[in-house]
Amino acid sequence: MAVDPDLALKNEEDVEPSQPSSDVENGAPHHTVILGWSNKIPSLVRQLTVANQQQSGSMGRAGEITVVAAMELEQMQAEFKSHNIDMLGTNLTMICGSRHDTQILRKAGVDAAHAVIVLTESQDAEESDELAVILVKKILKAMDATNFKGYIVVEVNDVEDEVWVKEAGGGLVETVVAKDVIRRLMVQCARQPGLAQVWKDILGFDKAEFFIRRWAELDGMRFVDVLISFPDAIPCGVKVAARNGKIVLNPDDEYILAEGDEVLVIADDHDSYAPSTSLPEVRLFCKLRSPKEVQEAKAVKKILFCGWQRDMEDMIPLLEGSLGEGSELWIFSEVAEEERARRLREKGVAVESLQNVTVTECTGKATRKKDLESLPLELFDSILLVADGDTDSFIAKQEQGPLSTLIMIKSIQTKRMPYREARAVQMRPAGKSKSMWIDELKHSPAQSIIVSDILNEQTLRAIGEAVDSKDIVISDEMVSMALAMVAEDRCISGVLDELFAEEGNEMFMRPAENYLDEDAEELSFFDIMVRARQRREIVIGYHQVFKDNPAINPRDKAVKKKWSLDVSFIVLVERP
């Protein structure tokens, strides 16, 4: 049942100050306070309501969300109501007032909250992060920090400002660097078709997600055995008590769980899994390619950047480091080519010295069909649609721009796609393995991967209705998911930091031939998990050809089935 926000809207005079309390100690509702208003609000609230529903299922308490923003209540109400969000039993309160006013912060209940989320409101990154530092100090001033049992989650714009925001919080702050999350997700998903849906599933609360829990019965057990101890979860790491609670992703096989250690898993719900009393039998033997062979087999891709964004100097080196030799990057933008070259030179990026990626520059408008038709849109593996120019005019000033551009791109691709399919069949390389050929075929139809960021909620919903659901759309929605996940469990912040960083572990889509001796080999999912450990990988799921959604944390892991070479396995692997 959808809850009418009218019933929960309050101004600052209506709200009584909350009394500090612990959710767990006295069974109080799970309370989250959101400070600020942006296009992330609908997605963020939606994610938190799902999380609250999961919590109330086991603890018998409804959730509460309080939003503080310097907007008229009627405006907040109308904007939020237009999204028709099912609150799933969560109570929503909206307070009109300044989030820098300590009295309003107290009335919002920041001192009693499980988490306080600080959203970016300013378009200026430096100004926004400076305000975040001030706001963190205001929040701490509005409470007795020594008795505060929650924490503060801050959306940061510039990764260089992250340290200052954390210092202002004195150990009570976790951060999500929005632009960094979007940039790295865009690069990861552009080079690995299907990975965006994996991230959407893991970052959301309605499917598999990360959980951390202590299991005393696993003390003294090797991680390689812990890995196959959970019929309904995938262990991914250990929160090591001896290292002050540091989370180690993808630990060594021989690491022995000690007293106080907790296990990080991917599971459907916090109470849906438990370790088995016995280990399953597994079939290990397989002639696997060496880790070096797998690492060197980087994908060769042809990618189009449709637009120009301020952090292009970061995007290009990321692609250079992750793609195979012979890859192409086409940049199509209204920004003059001379100006692009100047900006890249100023940031120390020399495109002529790239080893793996060849850059091709094109000039034109993404909203003009004639300009788009000049591009070989049917030949790109991925198309990254980003904001153009120094301002976000492509998105902000032309709300229909992203939608019309996507529709035009898809229309052009569809008309040209028969040519691409015929060309792909004629040009099949003789030396390609069956699984690599299948992987190429399944991504060759009209659905080139469309990766789009900084889209507002209405445009995002319209795109979902207007184009094929297989298109990948990465937007502020992904940042909202990350904020909500960290707001539910601050330990997850370190996990996401590593998965989005340049070093450490990362998720990959691997071809089936990496794990199978032959096509239609009969194995259990546990068999495949153990085989992957020969290369220090953790298999968390798989994606079947021609299926929209991946299977993460699949059921019946001990049951043997025939696996074909048209499967891609989703793995957690340490970067070389």
What CATH number is given to the structural domain containing 409? 3.40.50.720
pLDDT tens figures, 263-309 = 999 999 888 999 998 888 776 655 555 555 555 567 788 999 988 87
pLDDT digits (tens, 9 = 90+) for 28-52: 678 999 999 998 899 899 999 999 9
Is position 68 within any domain?
yes
What pLDDT shows up at residue 291? 52
Residue 185 lies in a domain: no
Does 188 map to a domain? no
Question: Whole domain around residue 327: which residue ranges?
Answer: 291-475
- Assess whether 409 and 510 both reside in one domain: no
Residues composing the chain: 576
Distance, CA of 88 to CA of 91 (rounded, Å):
9
Instruction: Kindly report the CATH number assigned to the domain that includes residue 545.
Output: 3.30.70
- Say how far apart CA 391 and CA 335 lie, in whole Å: 12
Mean pLDDT, residues 235-261:
96
Domain membership of residue 384 (yes or no) is yes
In terms of domains, do 298 and 259 share one? no
pLDDT at 436: 46
- Decide: 454 and 477 in contact? Cβ < 8 Å: no
Pairing between β-strand 91-96 and β-strand 63-69 as defined by DSSP bridges: parallel
Residue 222 lies in a domain: yes
- Shared-domain flag, residues 514 and 380: no
Q: CA dist 212 to 131, 142, 143, 176, 263, Å?
A: 32, 31, 28, 19, 6
Stronger pLDDT, 499 or 422, i.e. the higher one? 499
Do 386 and 249 reside in the same domain of the chain? no
* Pair 262, 306 in one domain: no
Tokens of 104: 């309003």
**In a domain? residue 187:** no
Using DSSP's 3-state secondary structure scheme, residue 30 falls into: strand
**Same domain as 9, residue 157:** yes
CA 255/CA 133 separation, integer angstroms: 39
- Same domain? For 396 and 439 the reply is yes
Whether residues 309 and 445 share a domain: the answer is yes
Lowest pLDDT segment from 128-137, 213-222, 383-392: 383-392
Tell me the whole-structure pTM to 2 decimals: 0.83
Report the chain's mean pLDDT, rounded to a whole number.
82
Of 152, 171, 190, the last residue of a domain is 171
Kindly state whether residues 167 and 224 are assigned to the same domain: no
- Whether the per-residue pLDDT at 346 is higher than 80: the answer is yes
Q: Which residue has the higher pLDDT, 159 or 242?
A: 242
Residues 551, 518 contacting (CB under 8 angstroms): no
Residues 433 and 563 occupy one common structural domain: no
Question: Is 558 part of any domain?
Answer: yes
pLDDT of 418: 63
What residue spans of 281-397 are helical by DSSP H?
291-296, 312-322, 337-346, 369-373, 393-396
Is 185 within 8 Å of 529 (Cβ atoms)?
A: no
**In terms of domains, do 154 and 236 share one?**
no
Q: What share of the chain is helix, strand, coil (3-state, %, to 5)?
A: 40, 20, 40
59-112 pLDDT tens trace: 555 799 999 999 999 999 999 998 889 999 999 999 999 999 999 999 999 999
Whether residue 526 lies inside any domain: the answer is: yes
Domain identity same for 512 and 470: no
| Total tally of structural domains belonging to the chain | 4
